[in-house]
């Protein structure tokens, strides 16, 4: 029995040694592939082969740096390959082409400890160029004015949980300065030490106190662009308040999906970076506007209204978002919701031909809207020829309405008309008690990514927005048809007879001396006058509802866009300098 146990243990040890060799040679293949992919440097296969001595020396050096494996020293082979961007399949690169990357095979072997022979393993890795770029969605910098200073104070106060009060000059000073993650890291001793050691991934992944990071952002901005005393004071105030927010990494702040050089060198507006830092760290950055109130004067084209009341709640998350990474990287804009937005519009009495008086009940519209965050996606990083020089990016935006509903209450209309009807020329009064029920169709924001836009520098300038979307969340209502219902009271000699009106057709028993068809003939032109004058598209919808919706859009796309960089049903995408065409990544 003891013999069996010993043999089993020996077999287990030998298998374990071979398993270690497999892991070791995979690590060698990965690291050597990354090192050799950097040696391509925009050269064709023929040019690399012509300089084979230098290439082989680089391969030997990369292998030697990673030769500390179990058992025999590793042996390494390579081939220059192209990588299919869709499937990831590799194939030999043509002699006249610049290869996408390098495939490296590493082999190793170890002698067994207890049984005769040895165990070997071969592992393969492919490393190829993976251009990266940074971009931001939304910006606080667009349109900073005196009102915006108050808005930003309020937003930051909400985020920090304490009062913030500063001058416009402080915000403007930060709004004119750009900083990079590299410059910020140099102001934080722990990150600066990692930079010296050459570990850019750790620089992006290391947690730093939020207050410390705010101080570093201001210091970096002041080093590159001397800031005003007000801007420095604002930075110090934010840092003091933010010290209680815990920690955050530069990678979290920049939304980095990989450890690319672009993430460290991209220049971001200092004000955007500061506000984003405290918002991302806090995770709660809602802006609420409750009980919005509008007057008739605020709504264009509402001369037919005696009064207009609008109540509801607006919620927004006004955080600019920055992301860095390869093609496919995304960044989200703010979300917006409108809850129980209710319109009560009183229409002035109308004067319509053939009718002695026409009054319209208050028009009611209830709207609820919730939007998903519009998502900007990096669709291409444009690198010029074989030089690896970054020329620009392509981006697309998707914006989808999660829930969007509008309910226009039936419009109550009251009108009277005096007529002489029938063979006896009876004096008749028709009193219309109508409900006009529109059937509005509400167009929502289309789902999916729209057409991509391109940015190239030159001629474009970094920091200029690529604008997507209409800027309107709520589309105009369009009534395809109006259902006319209610009652028509026929008064003859002081006696009232009520008739029902359904879809414009009278039903019931006509008064003595009059027929239903005669009353229908008399009522039809009057009904047409009422519908055309009050309930048709040029009436209620054009004069009351649609101007309201345009005003709500103006509220969303105006003050919020100017103060918080918020674009509804779209996004402003800002390419950041400069994309990196030399980044290398493992494939497969």
Core vs surface per residue 156-170: b (16+ CB within 10 A) or e: bebbbeeebebbbeb
Last residue of a domain, one of 247, 264, 285: 285
Q: Which two tokens stand for residue 302?
A: 């509402």
Phi, psi of 417 (to 5 degrees): -145, 140
Per-residue pLDDT of the chain (588 residues; tens, 9 = 90+): 545 454 455 545 555 566 777 888 899 999 999 999 988 887 899 999 999 999 999 999 999 998 887 778 889 999 999 988 778 889 999 999 889 899 999 998 876 555 565 667 899 999 988 888 888 876 655 434 434 455 556 555 555 555 555 555 666 677 778 888 889 999 999 998 888 776 677 888 899 998 899 999 999 999 988 888 888 888 888 888 888 878 888 888 776 644 456 777 777 778 778 777 766 665 543 444 444 444 444 444 445 555 555 555 555 554 567 888 888 888 876 555 666 666 666 666 777 888 888 888 877 767 666 555 678 889 888 877 554 677 888 888 776 554 556 666 777 888 999 999 888 788 999 999 988 776 654 444 455 677 888 888 888 888 787 877 655 555 555 545 567 889 999 999 889 999 998 888 899 999 988 999 999 999 989 888 887 766 543 345 555 555 555 555 554 554 444 444 445 556 778 888 878 887 888 886
345 and 485 share one domain: yes
* Residue 541 and residue 481 in contact, taking contact as beta carbons nearer than 8 Å: no
Same domain, 295 and 413: yes
CB 227 within 8 A of CB 247: no
Inside any domain, residue 584: no
Give the span between the Cα atoms of 480 and 77, in whole angstroms. Answer: 71
**Do 488 and 415 reside in the same domain of the chain?**
yes
Q: What is the DSSP string of 246-282?
A: -EEEHHHHHTBSS--HHHHH-EEEHHHHHHHHHHHHH
Using the structure block, give the residue that is written with the tokens 């008749």: 428
Residues forming beta bridges with residue 455, ordered by sequence position: 393
CA atoms lying within 13 Å on the CB side of residue 329 = 31
* C-alpha span between 347 and 540 (Å, rounded): 9
Q: Could you tell me if 151 and 216 are in contact, meaning their C-beta atoms sit under 8 angstroms apart? A: no
- CA-based nearest residue to 305, from 349, 261, 255, 262: 349
464 in a structural domain: yes
Q: Are residues 280 and 140 in the same domain?
A: yes
Residue 206 counted as domain residue: yes
Question: Does a structural domain hold residue 585?
Answer: no
State the helix-helix crossing angle for 270-282 and 229-242, rounded to 10 degrees: 10
Residue 462 lies in a domain: yes
Are 281 and 299 within one domain?
no
Q: How far apart are the first and last CA of the chain?
A: 47
Whether residues 435 and 297 share a domain: the answer is yes
> Does residue 260 lie within any of the structural domains?
yes
Domain that holds residue 140: 134-285
Contact assessment for residue 277 and residue 212, using Cβ atoms and an 8 Å cutoff = no
Token code pair at residue 329: 């990287």
Looking at the fold, whether 91 and 152 belong to one and the same domain comes out as: no
165 and 291 in a single domain? The answer is: no
In a domain, 23, yes or no: yes
| Residues 351, 230 share a domain | no
**Whether residue 471 is found in the same domain as residue 545:** yes
Q: State the total domains in the chain.
A: 3
Q: Which helix (H) or strand (E) holds 437?
A: strand 426-441
Domain boundary among the residues 235, 261, 285 is at: 285
Q: Are residues 188 and 299 in the same domain?
A: no
What is the C-alpha separation between 245 and 214, in angstroms, rounded? 11
Domain boundary among 261, 285, 309: 285
Query: Does any domain span residue 164?
Result: yes
Q: Identify whether residues 141 and 38 lie together within a single domain.
A: no
Say if residues 145 and 175 touch (Cβ distance below 8 Å). no
Crossing angle of helices 210-224 and 270-282, in 10° steps, is 180
């Amino acid at each position: 029995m003891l013999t069996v146990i010993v043999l089993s243990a020996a077999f287990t040890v030998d298998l374990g040694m071979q398993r270690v060799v497999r892991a070791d040679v995979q690590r060698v293949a990965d690291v050597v592939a990354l090192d050799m992919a950097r040696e391509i440097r925009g050269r064709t296969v023929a040019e690399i082969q012509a300089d084979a001595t230098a290439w082989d020396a680089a391969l030997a050096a990369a292998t030697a740096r990673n030769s500390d494996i179990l058992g025999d020293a590793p042996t390494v082979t390579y081939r220059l390959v192209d990588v299919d961007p869709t499937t990831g399949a590799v194939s030999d690169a043509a002699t006249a082409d610049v290869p996408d990357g390098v495939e490296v095979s590493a082999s190793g072997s170890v002698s067994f400890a207890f049984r005769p022979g040895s165990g070997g393993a071969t592992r393969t890795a492919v490393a190829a160029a993976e251009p990266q770029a940074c971009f931001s969605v939304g910006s606080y910098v667009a349109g900073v004015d005196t009102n915006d200073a108050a808005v930003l104070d309020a937003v930051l106060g909400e985020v920090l949980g304490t009062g913030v009060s500063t001058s416009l000059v402080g915000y403007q000073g930060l709004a004119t300065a750009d900083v990079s993650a590299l410059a910020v890291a140099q102001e934080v001793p722990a990150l600066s030490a990692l930079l010296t050691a050459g570990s850019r991934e750790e620089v992006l992944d290391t947690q730093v106190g939020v207050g410390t990071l705010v101080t570093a952002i201001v210091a970096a901005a002041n080093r590159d662009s001397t800031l005003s005393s007000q801007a420095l004071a604002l930075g110090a105030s934010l840092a003091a308040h933010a010290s209680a927010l815990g920690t955050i990494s530069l990678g979290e702040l920049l939304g980095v999906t990989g450890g690319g050089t672009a993430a460290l060198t991209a220049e971001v507006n200092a004000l955007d970076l500061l506000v984003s830092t405290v918002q991302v760290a806090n995770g709660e950055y809602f802006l609420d506007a409750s009980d919005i109130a509008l007057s008739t004067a605020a709504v264009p084209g509402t001369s037919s209204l005696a009064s207009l009341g609008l109540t509801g709640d607006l919620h927004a998350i006004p955080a600019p978002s920055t992301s860095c990474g390869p093609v496919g990287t995304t960044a989200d804009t703010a979300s917006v919701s409108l809850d129980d937005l209710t319109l009560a519009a009183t229409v002035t009495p109308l004067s319509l031909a053939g009718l002695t008086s026409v009054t319209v009940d208050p028009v009611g519209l209830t709207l609820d809207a919730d939007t998903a965050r519009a998502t900007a996606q990096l669709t291409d990083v444009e690198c010029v020829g074989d030089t690896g020089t970054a020329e620009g990016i392509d981006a697309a935006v998707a914006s989808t309405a999660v829930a969007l509903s509008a309910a226009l209450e039936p419009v109550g209309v009251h009108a009277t008309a005096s007529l002489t009807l029938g063979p006896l020329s009876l004096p008749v009064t028709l009193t219309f008690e109508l409900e006009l029920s529109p059937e509005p169709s509400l167009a929502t924001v289309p789902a999916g990514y729209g057409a991509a836009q391109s940015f190239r520098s030159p001629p474009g300038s970094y920091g200029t927005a690529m604008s997507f979307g209409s800027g309107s969340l709520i589309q105009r209502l369009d009534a395809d048809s109006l259902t006319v219902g209610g009652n028509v009271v026929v008064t003859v000699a002081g006696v009232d007879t009520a008739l029902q009106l359904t879809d414009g057709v009278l039903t019931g028993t006509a008064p003595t001396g009059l027929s239903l068809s005669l009353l229908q003939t008399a009522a039809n032109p009057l009904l047409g006058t009422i519908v055309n004058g009050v309930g048709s598209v040029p009436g209620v919808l054009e004069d009351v509802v649609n101007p309201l919706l345009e005003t709500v859009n103006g509220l969303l796309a105006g003050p919020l866009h100017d103060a918080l960089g918020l674009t509804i049903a779209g996004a402003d995408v800002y390419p950041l300098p400069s994309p990196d065409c030399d980044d290398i990544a493992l494939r497969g």
